[in-house]
Amino acid sequence: MSTAVRWGITLGVAAIILAIPRPEGIDVAAWRLLAIFAATITGSIVRPLPPAAVVLVGVTATALSGALTPAKALGGYSDPIAWLVFAAMLLSSAVQSTGLGRRIALLFIRAIGQSALGLAYALAGTDTLLAAFLPSNSARAGGIIFPVATSLAEAYDSKPGPTARRLGAYLLFTTYQCDVVACSMFLTGQISNVLSARFGREVAHVDMTYGRWLLGAAVPAVVALLLVPRLLLRWYPPEVTRTPEAPARAAAELVQLGPPSRKEWLTLIIFATVGLTWATAALHKLDYGVVALAGVATMVLLDVISWESVTGDRAAWDVFIWYGGIVRMASALSEAQITTKFAEWSAGLTVGWPWGAALVALALIYVYAHYGFASITAHVSAMFTPFLVVLLAAGAPAALAVAVLAYSANLSASLTHFGTTPAPIYFGAGYVSQRDWWRLGLMLSVVTLAIFGTVGLAWWKVLGWW
């Protein structure tokens, strides 16, 4: 496909939206913003330019067209979450460049490195345990697990490019998809779960406490966590699947490496301090992004990494430009009431239906609408309440309706490479193509929804939720 055709598709999407009559209550600027956002997402898929460049063009277009003021158009780059993504990638690079990442990877391999599946379960299990008390999936999966996953890939000589499928693509994609499930398992799985719980309490008088959330999610989530790595082993197999000799080889290499260097020790101390500070955020209220940047700044001050390595980290800056722009446009759409209007329209489709049919239809719309969101928080803010109101009016049991919407909001993040904050970190590593991410993300969304819709439904019946 030529560049001209790619641009034609991208701009054609914007032209089609602009040609459609505006719904009542949506002003010209908001409709123009929707056209630019849709074109930006399309451009990120068909790629007339690299995705970050497409987003930069889209951000510029929102300001030039008057869809957003310049300050609002560029507001995504002042968002602490965008800086957290950026800092997490820099921390990961530091773990790699100092040699600490390879040492940690070799320790993992020595302990459980007999198979790719074992490594995937170890990463997913660690992330799930952290989710029990660390309420930021970006800090947890992006800041703590991601460097270990990339180090494991490189330990098997798997790097972005021709050797990506050797192991790295499988490990990183599986870890991310399991993190999506881990997010659904705990009230602390990711930040917007608290928002879902609040809406459930205010609208349906269902109190999703920490214990109630975990009790409802535990059975279907554990089934999904056990199944996802095995399915991806078949659907997206690594070239390296069995490595019985790897533990002995890793042990020998650890002996050759000798004791950790000064930079490794400093990196480990800073890394552990950042993780501990993230885990205790409820006590000191420090922002996750500020903590991550403090970690990077400390590394520069102590000469663990150079300033040149920070400014020269192309992948980190690329993801920062891409994610900051996408998040800002998606948030602006929500502020302009476009996503709320869509939610109200979708909810209105099932008025008069039996509650079971309404629940299935609205759950599917609710999940797959996430193709238009770059944040679970924005998704929940726009769509949770109107969908819940319609389900309650249709006669759905309150506890069941709240559970379906709360858990499925997390599962929807499996779909795209911008579905929740860790997604651009894992995608930005360069191991998984966008085509594979979207294809496999869609397939896994069907699986996890089916698990929650069968195993989960039966379990919630046992709990008396319906």
d(CA 35, CA 102): 45
Residue at which a domain ends, from 313, 339, 366 = 313
Q: What are the pLDDT digits (tens) for 203-237?
A: 899 989 888 999 999 999 999 999 999 999 999 99
Q: Cβ–Cβ contacts within 10 Å for residue 423, how many?
A: 28
Same domain, 14 and 87: no
Specify the pLDDT at position 299. Answer: 94
Burial class (CB in 10 A: 0-12, 13-18, 19+), 321: buried
Residue 75 makes CB contacts below 8 A (sequence gap 6+) with 328
User: Would residue 374 count as lying in a domain?
Assistant: no
- The radius of gyration computed from the CA coordinates of the chain, to the nearest angstrom, equals 22
Judgement on whether residues 101 and 36 belong to the same structural domain of the protein:
no
C-alpha to C-alpha distances, 302 to 68, 144, 297, nearest whole angstrom: 41, 21, 9
Cβ neighbour number for residue 209 with a 10 Å cutoff: 11
Question: Using an 8 Å Cβ cutoff, are 323 and 418 in contact?
Answer: yes
CA angle 266, 268, 269 (to 5 degrees): 65
> Would you say 397 and 466 are in contact if contact means Cβ atoms under 8 Å apart?
yes
What is the maximum alpha-carbon separation in the chain? Answer: 71
Residue 64 in any domain: the answer is yes
Task: Supply 431's token pair.
Answer: 């191991």
Domain that holds residue 184: 78-313
> Which run of H or E residues covers position 286?
none
Q: Are residues 141 and 257 in the same domain?
A: yes
Three-class secondary structure of residue 115 per DSSP: strand
- Distance from C-alpha of 56 to C-alpha of 41, rounded to nearest angstrom: 12
pLDDT at 45: 79
| Contacts for 112 with CB less than 8 Å, ≥ 6 apart | 118, 119, 122
pLDDT in tens, 351-365: 788 999 999 999 999
Q: What is the pLDDT of residues 105-120, one digit of tens each?
A: 888 888 877 889 998 9
**Whole-number Å distance between alpha carbons of 396 and 270:** 49
The verdict on 149 and 20 lying in the same domain is no
Quote the tokens at residue 30: 């908001």
Tell me which residue of 174, 223, 216, 173 sits closest to 193, measured CA to CA.
216
Taking the C-alpha atoms of 60, 63, 64 and 67 in order, what is their torsion angle to the nearest 10 degrees? 120
Q: Is residue 320 part of a domain?
A: no
Q: How confident is the model at residue 331 (pLDDT cuts 50, 70, 90)?
A: confident
> Is 49 in the same domain as 143?
no
Q: Are 135 and 281 in contact (CB under 8 A)?
A: yes
Please tell me the distance from the alpha carbon of residue 423 to that of residue 137, in angstroms, as a whole number: 10
Measured between alpha carbons, how far is 125 from 199 in angstroms, rounded to an integer?
30
Residues 94, 65: one domain? no
CA distances from 392 to 156, 213, 297, 350, 399 (A): 52, 20, 50, 12, 10
Q: What is the pLDDT of residues 185-199, one digit of tens each?
A: 998 888 788 889 988
Q: Are residues 171 and 292 in the same domain?
A: yes
Q: Is residue 229 part of a domain?
A: yes
Q: What is the pTM of this model?
A: 0.80
Residues 197 and 293 in one domain: yes
Would you state the pLDDT for residue 117?
93
Verify that 93 and 115 share a domain, yes or no. Answer: yes
Which DSSP state fits 158? -
Domain boundary among 313, 336, 367: 313
Which three-class secondary structure state does DSSP give residue 177? helix
* Alpha-carbon separation of residue 172 from 21, 77, 95, 139, 176 (angstroms): 43, 26, 16, 16, 6
Residues 387, 226: Cα–Cα separation, whole Å: 30
In the predicted model, is pLDDT for residue 16 greater than 90? yes
89 lies in the same domain as 56? no
Work out how many domains the chain is built from and give that number: 2
Cα(17)–Cα(10) distance, rounded to whole angstroms? 12
Which of these, 87, 59, 73, lies nearest to 424 by C-alpha position? 87
Residue 201 resides in a domain: yes
Question: Tokens 């989530």 sit at which residue?
Answer: 221
Is position 415 within any domain? Answer: no
Residues 147, 258 within the same domain: yes
Instruction: Note whether 67 and 83 are same-domain residues.
Output: no
CA distance 280 to 277: 5
Which of the residue ranges 147-156, 221-230, 335-344, 349-358 would you say has the lowest mean pLDDT? Answer: 335-344
Q: What is the pLDDT, as a whole number, of residue 48?
A: 92
Q: Using CB atoms within 10 Å of the CB of residue 426, give its burial: 0 to 12 exposed, 13 to 18 middle, 19+ buried.
A: buried
Asked which of 313, 328, 354 is the last residue of a domain, the reply is 313
Domain for residue 23, yes or no? yes
pLDDT of residue 374: 73
Name residue, tokens 């917007």.
192
CA neighbours closer than 13 Å in the CB half-sphere of residue 388: 28
Q: What is the pLDDT of residues 420-434, one digit of tens each?
A: 888 989 998 999 999
Give which of 185, 101, 175 is closest to 141, Cα–Cα. Answer: 175
Tokens for 199, please give them.
């809406």
H/E run at residue 63: helix 51-64
Strands (DSSP E) contained in 368-461 are none
d(C-alpha 224, C-alpha 171), whole Å: 17
Instruction: Give the whole-angstrom CA distance, residue 123 versus residue 83.
Output: 24
Q: How far apart are CA 466 and CA 456, in angstroms?
A: 12
- 278-328 pLDDT per residue, tens: 878 778 888 888 888 999 999 999 999 999 989 988 888 988 898 888 878
Is 319 part of any domain? no
